[in-house]
Amino acid sequence: MLGMIIIKRSEINKIMKNAVDFAKKMNFLLPPFAYWNAKDWEDKGDEYDELRDNLLGWDITDFGSGDFYKVGLLMFTIRNGNFNDPKYIKPYAEKLLIVEEGQVTPYHFHYKKMEDIINRGGGNLIVKLYNSTPDEEMDDTPVLVSKDGRNYTVPAGTEIRVCPGESISLHNGVYHTFWGEKGAGKLLVGEVSKVNDDRVDNRFYEPVGRFPAIEEDEEPLYLLSMDYPNSGCK
């Protein structure tokens, strides 16, 4: 899973439409900027820099796999601070994730971010954990798990099932991969965390293409955060 794979804009639009429908079905309402297209963005001046600078909004990736539904993830960043700009004082972030049955997010850890992953409804989320070593390899030591107020240790590589309503806390430096359990259905996942910046804070165990190249075969339904001017994701 390496290199830049091109995703068609029509495919991104289809993924977005399905996500909006699923969020509505799950009674999760997205903020107004979720529905802004290129024309809507034309008159959005400096007062909306927080959206641009902190990459709020849509984020869709297949991690360079070429098969979004096998290895991929849809994220929508609702709120976020900023590592580098002191004018954005929020020390926290919140995301919505939609995970398909069997859809894998590859092994990675975060250098700074600690996060809670919350199953908001639908199917079951399976999370597999390893500690990292100082040289960023996977360790075979027991992993501390914090799940809905229960703190305990599990062997390296243990799979944790997170059912609807449950959550798991992931410390920085802990390798994790997750997927939707097959047969249990698509799921709506919440993420509450410290400030998030996927441009600099992710360490994937195997190289991935985090931000895809896009073939513009039709107009964007809504803009991705990487489509914003000066997003740093080009």
Give 10-residue mean pLDDT values along the chain (234 residues). 73 97 97 96 93 95 93 97 90 97 97 97 98 97 97 98 98 97 96 94 91 92 88 50
Given the candidates 2.60.40.1080, 3.40.50.300, 1.10.10.10, 2.60.120.10, the CATH classification of the domain at 6-227 is 2.60.120.10
Domain boundaries, the chain: 6-227
Distance of CA 61 to the CA centre of its chain: 9
Q: What is the pLDDT of residue 231?
A: 52
Q: What is the pLDDT of residue 4?
A: 58
| Six-digit token string for 39 | 């024309």
| Six-digit token string for 177 | 């991969």
Q: What is the pLDDT of residue 210?
A: 80
